[in-house]
Amino acid sequence: MKVQFSDVSMRFGAMEVLQHVTLGAEEGEFLCILGPSGCGKSTLLNIAGGFLAPSSGSVTIDGEPVTAPDRRRIFVFQERGVFPWLTVEGNIGFGLFDMSAGDRQARVSQYIDLVGLRGFEKSYPRELSGGMKQRVEVARALAVNPDVLFLDEPFGALDSITRLQMRSELLRIWRAERKTVLFVTHDIEESVQLADRVVVMSARPGKIRRVVDIDIPHPRDLSSRRYIELRDLIFGEIGLAHQV
């Protein structure tokens, strides 16, 4: 198991945020963690990234306990984190300080091509659209060759059309790179479109209600009967079946 949560609970003072979460992600799996706001999804991701220590339980990656952040495990957040004083190529190459200049340039060029930003190498973030900035963040994350990629509602601030485009882009990149991805969202459609499995969390304190296997090959037909069945199953699991 690549990432393993074992009986993880988390409290902040008197507030219980997570309760007895046991969950695993396989090597190369795209796992979505879905639930309402405040259910502890982001807290779970921060524990896996080593930014928070659980109140009880443990997280291991490749069998090793997670005790601190590690450059092999990279976050992409909803709040766009591109550096405004750096160009596209400067942002993507930011974490490659231990490479030679030639190797660094080759790696940056590779990921500029991968995320479709050829021609924008010298552009600054102020000159880019929201979706392009998110592509820069994904490229910067992948350029350091992480074992695991943590994405915390990375498309939440984008408009609906750009969100759809970025989901397709992320899937294309994931199929090319096959990194292990843990993706936090509260968007049911997003989870069914992207994930191998969807982990449905309860309201706070967050517990796992159900893990749903998304047994549809990519690219997914969002109007297919099976897609709609799985989407409606998850709606029902979180108590919204009659509001679809």
**Structure confidence at residue 210 (pLDDT):** 96
One domain for residues 133 and 156: no
Distance between CA atoms of 228 and 230, rounded to whole angstroms? Answer: 5
Q: Would you state the structure tokens that stand for residue 22, as one six-digit string?
A: 């046991």
**Structure confidence at residue 47 (pLDDT):** 97
**CATH code for position 166:** 3.40.50.300
Residue 80 located in a structural domain = no
The domain tally of the chain equals 2
Q: To which H or E segment does residue 188 belong?
A: helix 188-194
Among 145, 162, 196, identify where a domain stops: 145
One domain for residues 67 and 100: no
- Asked whether 218 and 212 are in contact (CB, 8 A), the reply is no
Among 114, 129, 145, identify where a domain stops: 145
pLDDT in tens, the chain (244 residues): 999 999 999 999 999 999 999 999 999 999 999 999 899 999 999 999 999 999 999 999 999 999 999 988 988 876 667 899 999 999 999 989 889 999 999 999 999 998 889 999 999 999 999 889 988 988 898 888 899 999 999 888 778 888 888 888 889 889 988 999 999 999 999 999 999 999 999 999 999 999 999 999 998 999 999 999 999 999 999 876 545 4
DSSP secondary structure string for all residues of 129-159: -HHHHHHHHHHHHHHT--SEEEEESTTTTS-
One domain for residues 103 and 193: no
Residue 81 located in a structural domain = no
Q: Would you state the structure tokens that stand for residue 200, as one six-digit string?
A: 């449905």
User: Which residues are paired to 212 by β-bridges?
Assistant: 198
One domain for residues 136 and 64: no
- What is the arrangement of strands in the sheet containing 208-213, beginning at the earlier edge strand? 73-77, 148-152, 180-185, 30-34, 197-201, 208-213
